[in-house]
């Protein structure tokens, strides 16, 4: 469907970034320009707030009655509105339409949209005083799942993938007075998408993260990488990428607190590598030290807070800053911790969620099953939590479809581009519980791992795999080929829930024929907070507590055990979970309920992690 509208609506739109012959190379087929990193440090105007919306189940805003695409001027991108032009036949009006808050999902803002999946038009109006010599970009933190973006009646392009940022250049497209920004959002699930049609979380639709109008100089610092050099903790190294006509410039990196820095010259592509000697205090969960880092060019300057650390494996150990560390983790979905549910969007959401993890004695969170918002990652970094960062290659992906691969890889690239300067990210994960026997899967996943490493060879790369019974109570990971290329033997196991009862844990011995750290990326079971009974009765707190005790005993016996991230910190919405009176659209595997009540199993983990700290 989008192909149709894009071909007809966007014919002229994809020149978005071509106003000057610059080193900016937009993805021509989508109109999206290369991602601007560290967006919160840029000069920008927030476009968050109340946006008018129109639910468009039949696609009437862009298709005619034969389902042929209408012209842009007859589509809702035009934002013409009946009440201003009552002599014309116009059957929509954004001014008179109700509003949704941006950022936010539509499902939890409007009861009538709770289960809605499909297309919704969003519109906001804004004014911007344009400064001569400046460039302007519209930046979206994330829109689930597809977004076609129009400004002042012109379609700028399309972005696919619900959890990563994207931006369009709008220099020369801003009006002097009022600007109309229209976004057509579609969260319909499709087989070829990433994730595909089947997943165990709520398909929250909408403009789920903040929208900014960003102002930059003509030539600006679009991206950079500043980190400890791999295998040399006495050197800080990285690169800078400029964007604009004045590509060759003097650029500097300066860390005043360390009295260290460097000056280099960018090449004709606006790119320069650098390295310089420095002895930073290293970032760690115990001491999450971040430094103010200034990156400047002749025409631009941007500041960041950056930490320095190393992460590697040696045999069955994970080494943080050269020392063995056990990853005391928990898995987390991006949902608000404050009862109302819906997508988590802000700092308060992040602090509350991560504080539950800290109070459980965690030093690590698995941000499942897709890239979480940047504030979440940065808050975890400030609070001393290492992060497993993941893209939504989940379950039964369309492995042999090249477009599906390109989409997955694009989400990976956008995720790494946004977060490569975050010291707390220690693992890039490319998939979760994918079927080992599926044709094309191994090529798909090994290409993704290769891509992650080509973009960033300083972190670990893995995936959440599955387990396999070998007979006689012996168990192992079921993915020998992927284990060979991953840095960890990381897999989900549900002994005591999907596989037998909790006592089964006592009967199992784990064995692995590769010497790598073993990370249990999920285990757990369901309980409704406040529901009590015998420890053999499912969905009671007693069952869950016992399951955790037995799992903890079992995990402690795993040879090469390097950590775990039980499933999951908080009960989360999922339409797969329909048991009335207990689930009611919630996956109940949280250690904390959706209302913030800690279940007794939470304290099992808290005690165990406390003992592992010593
Ligand atoms: C899993 C999935 C996770 C599910 C969980 C469950 O293995 O990775 O997304 O939510 O199991 O609750 O069944």
Q: What are 29-76's pLDDT values in tens digits?
A: 799 999 999 999 999 999 999 999 999 999 999 999 999 999 999 999
Contacts of 265 (CB under 8 A, 6+ apart): 248, 249, 250, 251, 272
318 in a structural domain: yes
Model confidence at 429: pLDDT above 90:
yes
Residue 548 lies in a domain: no
Task: Answer whether residue 534 is part of any domain.
Answer: no
Closest-CA residue, ligand 1 atom 9, reads 200
- Give the tens place of pLDDT for each residue, 377-416: 999 999 999 999 999 999 999 999 999 999 999 999 999 9
114 C-alpha to ligand 1 centroid (Å): 22
Q: What is the pLDDT of residue 341?
A: 82
Alpha-carbon span 37 to 300, nearest angstrom: 14
Q: What's the CATH number where 474 sits?
A: 3.20.20.80
Q: Is the pLDDT of residue 17 over 60?
A: no
**What distance in angstroms lies between residue 412's CA and the mean position of ligand 1's atoms?**
21
**Is the C-beta atom of 587 inside 6 A of ligand 1?**
yes
Whether residue 24 has pLDDT greater than 60: no
Specify the pLDDT at position 342. 96
What is the CATH classification number for the domain harbouring 145?
Answer: 2.60.120.260
pLDDT at 340: 75
Q: Are residues 393 and 511 in the same domain?
A: yes
Query: Looking at the domain assignment, is residue 166 inside a domain?
Result: yes
Per the model's pLDDT, the better-predicted residue between 5 and 290 turns out to be 290
Hey, whose CA ends up nearest to atom 7 of ligand 1? 492
Q: Are 491 and 565 part of one and the same domain?
A: yes
CB 193 within 8 A of CB 203: no
φ, ψ (nearest 5 deg) of residue 603: -75, -25
pLDDT at position 2: 46
**192 phi and psi angles, rounded to 5 deg:** -85, 0
What tens digit of pLDDT does each residue of 542-558 get? Answer: 999 999 999 999 999 99
What is the DSSP-derived secondary structure letter of residue 141? S
Percent of the chain with pLDDT over 90: 94
Cα→Cα distances 493→62, 148, 429, 508, 522, Å: 46, 39, 17, 12, 6
Query: Which atom of ligand 1 is closest in space to residue 526's alpha carbon?
Result: 12
Q: Tell me, yes or no, whether 381 lies in a domain.
A: yes
Residue 374 CB–ligand 1 contact under 6 Å: no
| C-alpha to C-alpha distance for 91 and 180, rounded to whole angstroms | 18
Give the whole-angstrom CA distance, residue 304 versus residue 302: 7
Q: Is 390 in the pocket of ligand 1 (CB under 6 A)?
A: no
Whether 20 shows a pLDDT value over 90: the answer reads no
pLDDT category, 11, cuts 50, 70, 90?
very low
Determine if ligand 1 sits within 6 Å of the CB of residue 567.
Answer: yes
- Residues paired with 474 in a beta bridge: 471, 509
Mean pLDDT value across residues 3-10: 46
Ligand 1 atom at minimal distance to the Cα of residue 497: 13
pLDDT tens digits for 259-296?
999 999 999 999 999 999 999 999 999 999 999 999 99
Looking at the structure, tell me whether residues 253 and 371 fall in a common domain: no
Last residue of a domain, one of 298, 329, 344: 298
Answer yes or no: is pLDDT of 12 > 60.
Answer: no
My answer on whether 227 and 170 are in the same domain is no
Are 22 and 99 in a shared domain? Answer: yes
Note the pLDDT of residue 595.
Answer: 96
- Please indicate, yes or no, if residue 536 is contained in any of the structural domains: no
Q: Are residues 265 and 202 in the same domain?
A: no
To test ligand 1's pocket by mutation, which of 200, 495, 570, 578 has the most ligand atoms within 8 angstroms of CB? 200
Tell me the average pLDDT across 143-169.
98
From the alpha carbon of 572, which atom of ligand 1 is closest? 10
CA distances from 162 to 13, 166, 186 (A): 22, 10, 10
Residue 300 has pLDDT above 70, yes or no: yes
For the segment 17-30, the average pLDDT, to the nearest whole number, is 45
Residue that is last in its domain, among 248, 271, 298: 298
577 CB near ligand 1 (under 6 Å): no
* Residues 449, 350 share a domain: yes
- 600: which residues sit within 8 A by CB, 6+ positions away? 541, 542, 544, 545
Q: Is the CB of 166 under 6 A from ligand 1?
A: no
Choose the final residue of a domain: 266, 298, 330.
298
User: What secondary structure letter does DSSP report for 130?
Assistant: P
Q: Would you say the CB of residue 589 lies under 6 angstroms from ligand 1?
A: yes
**CA distances (Å), 502 to each of 14, 497, 498, 600, in order?**
57, 7, 10, 16
Q: Same domain, yes or no, for 260 and 333?
A: no
pLDDT over 70 (residue 574): yes
Q: What is the CA radius of gyration of the chain?
A: 25
Q: At 27, is the pLDDT very low, low, confident or very high (cuts 50, 70, 90)?
A: low
190 and 235 in a single domain? The answer is no
DSSP annotation of 74:
G
Cα–ligand 1 centroid distance for 589 (angstroms): 9
Residue of 587, 588, 590 to test ligand 1 pocket, by largest number of atoms within 8 Å of CB: 587
Give the pLDDT score at 16: 29
Classify residue 505: in a domain, yes or no.
yes
pLDDT for the residue 8: 47
For residue 25, what pLDDT is reported?
38
The reply to whether 471 and 453 lie within a common domain is yes
pLDDT at residue 10 greater than cutoff 60: no
Confidence label for 463 from pLDDT (cuts 50, 70 and 90): very high
pLDDT value for 28: 52
Distance 200 CA to ligand 1 centre (A): 6
Mutation test residue for ligand 1: of 331, 567, 573, 588, the one with most atoms within 8 Å of CB = 567
pLDDT at 3 over 90: no
Which residues have a Cβ under 8 Å from the Cβ of 579 and sit 6 or more positions away? Answer: 539
Chain centroid, CA 219 distance in Å: 28
- Note the pLDDT of residue 14: 32
Ligand 1 neighbourhood includes 522 CB (under 6 angstroms):
yes
Is 520 within the bounds of a domain? yes
Report pLDDT for 557: 97
CATH assignment of the domain containing 247: 2.60.40.10
Domain of residue 437: give its range. Answer: 313-526+561-570+602-612
What pLDDT is attached to residue 482? Answer: 98
Peptide linkage before 149 cis (omega within 30 of 0): no
Write the Ramachandran bin of 393: left for phi over 0, alpha for psi from -120 to 50, otherwise beta. beta
Q: How far is the CA of 434 from the centre of ligand 1 (A)?
A: 12
Q: Into how many domains does the chain fold?
A: 3
Position 117 scores a pLDDT of 98
Contacts of 571 (CB under 8 A, 6+ apart): 529, 586, 587, 588, 589, 590, 592, 593, 594
pLDDT tens digits, 66-123? 999 999 999 999 999 999 999 999 999 999 999 999 999 999 999 999 999 999 999 9
228 with 211, same domain?
no
Query: Is the CB of residue 433 below 6 angstroms from any atom belonging to ligand 1?
Result: yes
On whether both 321 and 334 belong to a single domain, the answer is yes
Average pLDDT, the chain: 95
Closest ligand 1 atom to residue 574 Cα is: 10
pLDDT (mean) for 446-458: 98
């Amino acid at each position: 469907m989008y192909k149709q509208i894009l071909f007809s609506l966007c014919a002229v739109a994809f020149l978005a970034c071509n106003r000057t012959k610059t080193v900016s190379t937009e993805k021509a087929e989508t109109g999206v320009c290369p991602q601007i990193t560290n967006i919160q440090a840029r000069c920008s105007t927030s476009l968050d707030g109340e946006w008018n919306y129109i639910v468009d189940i039949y696609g009437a805003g862009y298709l005619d009655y034969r389902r042929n695409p209408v012209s842009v001027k007859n589509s809702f991108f035009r934002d013409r509105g009946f009440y201003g032009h009552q002599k014309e036949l116009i059957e929509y009006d954004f001014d008179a339409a109700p509003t949704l808050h941006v950022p936010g999902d539509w499902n939890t803002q409007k009861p009538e949209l709770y289960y809605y999946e499909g297309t919704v038009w969003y519109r906001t109006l804004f004014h911007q005083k344009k400064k001569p010599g400046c460039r302007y970009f519209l930046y979206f933190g994330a829109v689930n799942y597809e977004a076609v973006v129009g400004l002042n009646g012109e379609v700028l392009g399309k972005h696919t993938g619900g959890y990563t940022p994207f931006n369009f250049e709008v220099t020369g497209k801003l009006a002097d007075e009022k600007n109309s920004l229209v976004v057509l959002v579609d969260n319909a699930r499709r087989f070829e998408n990433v994730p595909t049609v089947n997943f165990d979380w709520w398909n929250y639709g909408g403009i789920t993260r903040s929208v900014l109008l960003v102002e930059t100089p003509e030539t600006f610092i679009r991206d950079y990488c500043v980190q400890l050099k791999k295998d040399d903790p006495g050197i800080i190294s990285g690169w800078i990428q400029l964007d604009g006509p004045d590509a060759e410039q003097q650029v500097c990196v300066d860390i005043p607190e360390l009295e260290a820095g460097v000056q280099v010259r960018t090449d004709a592509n606006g790119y320069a590598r650098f390295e310089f000697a420095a002895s930073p205090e290293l970032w760690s969960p115990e001491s999450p030290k971040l430094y103010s880092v200034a990156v400047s060019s002749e025409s631009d300057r941007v500041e960041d807070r950056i930490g320095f650390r190393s992460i590697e494996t040696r045999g069955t150990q994970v080494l943080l800053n050269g020392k063995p560390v056990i990853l005391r983790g928990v898995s987390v979905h991006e949902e608000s911790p404050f009862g109302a549910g819906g997508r988590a969007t802000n700092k308060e959401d992040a602090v509350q969620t991560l504080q539950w993890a800290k109070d459980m004695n965690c030093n690590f969170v698995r941000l499942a099953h897709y890239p979480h918002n940047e504030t979440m990652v940065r808050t975890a970094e400030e609070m001393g939590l290492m992060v497993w960062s993941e893209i939504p290659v989940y379950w039964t992906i369309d492995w042999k479809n090249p477009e599906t691969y390109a989409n997955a890889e694009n989400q990976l690239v956008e995720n790494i581009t946004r977060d490569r300067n975050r010291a707390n990210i220690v693992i890039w994960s490319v998939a979760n519980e994918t079927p080992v026997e599926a044709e094309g899967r191994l090529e798909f996943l090994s290409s993704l791992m290769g891509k992650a490493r080509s973009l960033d060879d300083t972190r670990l790369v893995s995936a959440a795999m599955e387990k396999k019974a070998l007979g006689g109570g012996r168990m192992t990971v079921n993915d020998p080929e992927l284990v060979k290329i991953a840095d960890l033997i990381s897999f989900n196991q549900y002994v005591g829930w999907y596989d037998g009862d909790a006592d089964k844990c006592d009967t199992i011995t784990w064995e692995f024929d590769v010497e790598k750290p073993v990370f249990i990326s999920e285990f757990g079971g369901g309980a409704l907070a406040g529901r009590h009974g015998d420890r053999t009765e499912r969905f009671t707190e007693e069952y869950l507590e016992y399951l955790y005790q037995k799992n903890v005993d079992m995990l402690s016996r795993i040879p090469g055990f390097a950590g775990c991230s039980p499933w999951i910190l908080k009960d989360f919405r999922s339409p797969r979970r329909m048991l009335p009176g207990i689930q009611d659209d919630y996956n109940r595997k949280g250690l904390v309920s959706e209302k913030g009540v800690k279940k007794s199993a939470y304290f099992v983990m808290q005690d165990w992690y406390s003992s592992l700290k010593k």
